[in-house]
Amino acid sequence: MAVVLRLARAGATKRPFYHVVAADSRMPRDGRFIENIGTYDPNYEPVRFQVNEERWAHWTKVGAKPSDTLSNLYKRAKKSAPKA
């Protein structure tokens, strides 16, 4: 079973909202998933992107590949995150 990290669309018509999920690659975009690990809301400026860092690390460690869109969002969020 190949696991991918990807966005699952939710929300109303013309008001998208996405869940960041770990899913089997054979499942449809909004279909069954293994675990919900975050959210992405493009309706705000700046966009709201939240992900559980521990679960992201776990899934990438066991071999899950993030989708192109999700990896770009994650990199952008990491770059704009305030340094502690």
What does pTM read for this prediction? 0.88
pLDDT exceeds cutoff 90 at 82: no
Give the pLDDT mean for 54-80: 93
Top pLDDT among 69 and 28 is at 69
3-80 architecture in CATH?
A: 2-Layer Sandwich (3.30)
Per-residue pLDDT tens over the stretch 9-27:
999 999 999 999 999 999 8
Rounded to whole angstroms, the Cα distance separating 45 from 3 reads: 31
Task: Name the token pair of 48.
Answer: 């709201």
pLDDT band at 84 (very low <50, low <70, confident <90, very high): low
Q: ω into residue 46 within 30 of 0, thus cis?
A: yes
Domain ranges in the chain are 3-80
